[in-house]
Amino acid sequence: MTSRIETAASSQPGTPAAAAPVGPKAATDRPYSPGLEGVIAAETAVGFVDGQNGRLLYRGYPIGQLVEKGTYGRVAELLWTGEWRRSAHLVPTAVPEPVMCALHELPDHTHPMDALRTAVSVWGAWRRPHWPPTVDQAREVTAMAPSALAAFHRLRNGLEPVQPNPKLSLAGGFLQQLTGKDPDPADARALDAYFIVAAEHGLNASTFTCRVIISTRSDLASAICGAIGALKGPLHGGAPAEVVSQLHEIGSPDHAEKWVREAIARGDKIMGFGHRVYRAYDPRAAALRKVAEGMSDMAGWLDTAVKVEDVVLRVFGELKPDRVIKTNVEYYAAAVLQGVGLPPDLFPPTFALARMAGWSAHAIEQASADKLIRPDARYVGPAEMDVPALGSR
């Protein structure tokens, strides 16, 4: 229920009266936090983002160990159930006929994020997942989504979709369905590592959107569609593609220092550096850098990226010593996604594919709490007044 506002009687019709909050819980009495920054809106056992110390834990397990010892299938199962199962395996599944029909109808110029959102929406209309969301629902939509995105990519390029190979991992199967060929094992492993580090990251904008929708007792498909919509925004999911463009613009490490100094002087944002939460080196970036270093085909491009990173951090330290600006995950995500051959406009929806596990884990957790998310707003408009009489201005 919204807060009540009482107003003093006005001396003349149409004259605003002074508004006064009623009761200690009135919205006007409570502090306002733009963007809900710093507000605790949920309790979660899914993941822990320790920005001060540069740690990221999934159900208590450090992200670096999960990348080193895990697979996306095991990590997804961990997020959904809280259990580490070495036998857990997640493979791509075929696109249901209603979803494939919808993808065939999309114009070639459709943004891949819109195509993915459409695929999940049609899946939801076809499957009609009930509330509360379940692990089985999470597994199904997470396994179907890569096949749907790959099918759209081929269709927009005039190619027929490829059936998934059940012997491949979810990440490897995605590459196979994009290209029509079995992927290089190193590429499949690199993309699997990216899926792991992108699977979960606290109460970010898209995850919060997902939890808000589930809190209304809506279904998992609706929640994931909302999350994809939030992730589509350039302030949330588009940075890796911009990192690629940025590095192409720099061209050579020899040009990096001049480029960085000029960008800072103009007040431009340098993509791949700085983070809303982390005040230390992003642990996801560290994990992906190790993966990128193991990709033989990326040697030249990665060498440039590493040298440019060193320059950016040094110049930031010199020009902005009062600010803690470190490398974030998008910087090396760009290296991995480009290294496995994805076009830049597939970077954001691939991020969404990886985040499916985290979104659905949060949806299941929010449903178990069964609490509608309904914050207040501080009213800053005019106080109560009478509608002007007819004929008055």
Query: Is 231 in the same domain as 318?
Result: no
pLDDT recorded at residue 20:
45
Query: Is 231 in the same domain as 269?
Result: no
Query: Is 196 in the same domain as 250?
Result: no
Query: Is 208 in the same domain as 321?
Result: no
Query: Is 145 in the same domain as 167?
Result: yes
Alpha-carbon dihedral sign for residues 268, 276, 312, 240: negative
> CA nearest 228: which of 356, 388, 364?
356
In a domain, 32, yes or no: no
Query: Is 153 in the same domain as 198?
Result: yes
Query: Is 219 in the same domain as 365?
Result: yes
In a domain, 207, yes or no: yes
Query: Is 175 in the same domain as 292?
Result: no
Distance of CA 179 to the CA centre of its chain: 25
pLDDT recorded at residue 302:
76
Question: pTM for this one?
Answer: 0.85
In a domain, 326, yes or no: yes
pLDDT recorded at residue 2:
38
Query: Is 290 in the same domain as 260?
Result: yes
In a domain, 203, yes or no: yes
Q: Of 140, 242, 309, 330, which one is the catalytic site residue?
A: 330
- The model's pLDDT over 341-355, given as tens digits with 9 standing for 90+, comes to 899 899 999 999 999
pLDDT recorded at residue 284:
82
Amino acid in position 138: A
What's the CATH number where 262 sits? 1.10.230.10
Query: Is 141 in the same domain as 225?
Result: yes
Query: Is 211 in the same domain as 277?
Result: no
In a domain, 60, yes or no: no
Q: Of 275, 309, 362, 365, which one is the catalytic site residue?
A: 275
Length in residues, the chain = 393
* Integer Cα distance of 300 and 297 in angstroms: 8
* Integer Cα distance of 28 and 39 in angstroms: 16
pLDDT recorded at residue 79:
98
Q: Which residues of the chain have pLDDT under 50?
A: 1-24
pLDDT recorded at residue 241:
74
DSSP string covering 255-322, please?
HHHHHHHHHHHHT---TTB--SS-SS--HHHHHHHHHHHT-GGGHHHHHHHHHHHHHHHHHHHHH-TT
Active site annotation includes 330 = yes
What's the CATH number where 96 sits? 1.10.580.10
Domain region containing 222? 91-237+356-369
In a domain, 83, yes or no: no
Contact yes or no for 41/34 (Cβ under 8 A): no
In the chain, the number of structural domains is 2
Query: Is 198 in the same domain as 262?
Result: no
In a domain, 5, yes or no: no
In a domain, 14, yes or no: no
Active site annotation includes 89 = no
